[in-house]
Amino acid sequence: MGFLMADLNLRVTKIETLTSGIKSFWLESGDGALLPEWTAGAHLVFTLNGALKKSYSLAGDPAVRDHYLTAILREEGGEGGSKYMHDVVAVGDILTASQPQNNFHLAETAKKHLLIAGGIGVTPLLAMSHTLKSQGADFHLHYCSKARQGTAFADEIETLFAEHVTFHFDGGDPSKGIKLNEILAQPDDGQHLYICGPGGLLNATREAARHWPDGTVHFELFSSTRSDEEKQTIAQAAQGDQPFEIKLMSNGKQLAVPADQSIFEVLRDNGIMLPSACEEGWCGNCVATYTAGEVDHRDECLDDDERKTQLQTCVSRAAAGEVLVLDL
Ligand code: FES
């Protein structure tokens, strides 16, 4: 489990400006050793500026172990993680990051893979494309962005994946972009879909794939897709939260989760550090497996199938007096 793994110290060895808003970062181990293994779809949780936690997906080839590659869009809003990476971090700096975490796996049993990337959401899908190509798998990447000029890794992706990739440039008007209803009309037998990109594309893709079989649609969020009103309603409803219990499978310990604390906080206070970043239920980092109890799921990142056995500890709760048994 993630809470047993030590953080990594990664040396920034190269920074490239890919587009006017996107930079890529090469990261090597501080002591020159090979980096921990990872699988396509994984990300690192960076602790920036001593406290701020931000997840960035790995974009390179998982078979390459001497460096990690990530690419980051500089965002004006938000908590400043991307601004820090763009404006402060320099070659030679050492960054603290988690071990690679993966909540966005390629489905091992899939016969065919359809990947849809929006903008900087291409990063985990680029890693997936490397793996799928090396496996000789049947896959296709649809890469959506405004214009070729602002499209990170466009040349590299075209060269590497040639007939496996289609670019969709909409000039800023989504109605001129990818035709989701056509592309997703008829899932092939054993086909799985992977989406990563901005909320609008993600919601539209999930809507257009509503008829795909359960468990075949996978997605990774870069931010919450909830509106401010929805967030407000959720915050108001949280006033009525009740205390409940969690039980740890490893030692049988039962812990109380008070009305004003999350499972994540109670675990942390008891020495169990799960990875975390958003603490709002969308990044997927703080996931835990549970084996008993009825969960009040409040995340945005798990699908119905995953929710049968997993929960996001930063937001999900249970009814008063319920005992959730966690595989921790
Ligand atoms: S920390 Fe992001 S989902 Fe819990």
| Ligand 1: residue whose CA is nearest its atom 3 | 281
Nearest-5° Cα angle at 254, 301 to 103 = 20
281 lines ligand 1 (CB under 6 A): yes
CA 97 / ligand 1 centre spacing (Å) = 16
324 lines ligand 1 (CB under 6 A): no
Whether the CB-CB separation of 55 and 43 falls below 8 Å is answered with yes
Nearest partner of 319 among 274, 257, 228, 277, judged by Cα: 257
Alpha carbon 70 to its chain's center: 13
CA 47 / ligand 1 centre spacing (Å) = 14
**Which atom of ligand 1 is the closest one to the Cα of 55?**
2
**3-class secondary-structure state, position 71:** strand
CATH class, range 2-97: mainly beta
Whether the CB-CB separation of 275 and 285 falls below 8 Å is answered with yes
pTM for this predicted structure? 0.88
Tens digit of pLDDT for each residue in 268-313? 999 998 888 889 999 999 999 999 999 999 999 998 889 999 999 9
90: tokens are: 């320099």
**3-class secondary-structure state, position 149:** helix
Which runs of consecutive H residues, i.e. helices, occur in the chain?
A: 81-87, 122-134, 154-161, 180-183, 199-208, 228-237, 263-269, 304-307
41 lines ligand 1 (CB under 6 A): no
275 lines ligand 1 (CB under 6 A): no
Distance in angstroms (rounded) separating the CA atoms of residues 181 and 44: 33
What is 240-326's CATH topology?
Answer: Ubiquitin-like (UB roll) (3.10.20)
In the chain, at which residue ranges do the beta strands (DSSP E only) sit? 8-17, 22-29, 43-48, 52-57, 68-73, 94-97, 112-118, 139-145, 165-169, 191-196, 217-220, 244-248, 254-257, 287-292, 310-312, 323-326
CA 220 / ligand 1 centre spacing (Å) = 12
| Per-residue confidence (pLDDT) for residue 238, from 0 to 100 | 87
27: tokens are: 């990261």
Judged against a pLDDT cut of 70, whether residue 1 lies above it is answered with: no
Question: Model confidence at 328, in pLDDT bands (50, 70, 90)?
Answer: very high
Q: Buried b / exposed e across 78-108, counting CB within 10 Å, b at 16+?
A: eebbbbbbbeebeeeeebebbbbbbbbebee
Domain boundaries defined on the chain: 2-97, 112-220, 240-326
The 8-class DSSP code of residue 274 comes to -
Judged against a pLDDT cut of 90, whether residue 174 lies above it is answered with: no
158: tokens are: 């075209």
| Per-residue confidence (pLDDT) for residue 224, from 0 to 100 | 85
93: tokens are: 């700096």
What is 112-220's CATH topology?
Answer: Rossmann fold (3.40.50)
312 lines ligand 1 (CB under 6 A): yes
Nearest partner of 208 among 187, 181, 228, judged by Cα: 181
Whether the CB-CB separation of 8 and 98 falls below 8 Å is answered with yes
CA 8 / ligand 1 centre spacing (Å) = 20
CA 264 / ligand 1 centre spacing (Å) = 9
Tens digit of pLDDT for each residue in 79-106? 789 999 999 999 999 999 999 999 999 9
276 lines ligand 1 (CB under 6 A): yes
Q: 237 CB contacts (<8 Å, ≥6 apart)?
A: none
2 lines ligand 1 (CB under 6 A): no
Distance in angstroms (rounded) separating the CA atoms of residues 67 and 272: 29
| Per-residue confidence (pLDDT) for residue 82, from 0 to 100 | 93
CA 286 / ligand 1 centre spacing (Å) = 5
101: tokens are: 């975490």
Q: 156 CB contacts (<8 Å, ≥6 apart)?
A: none
Distance in angstroms (rounded) separating the CA atoms of residues 277 and 53: 5
286 lines ligand 1 (CB under 6 A): yes
Tens digit of pLDDT for each residue in 212-246? 999 999 999 888 888 889 999 988 988 889 999 99
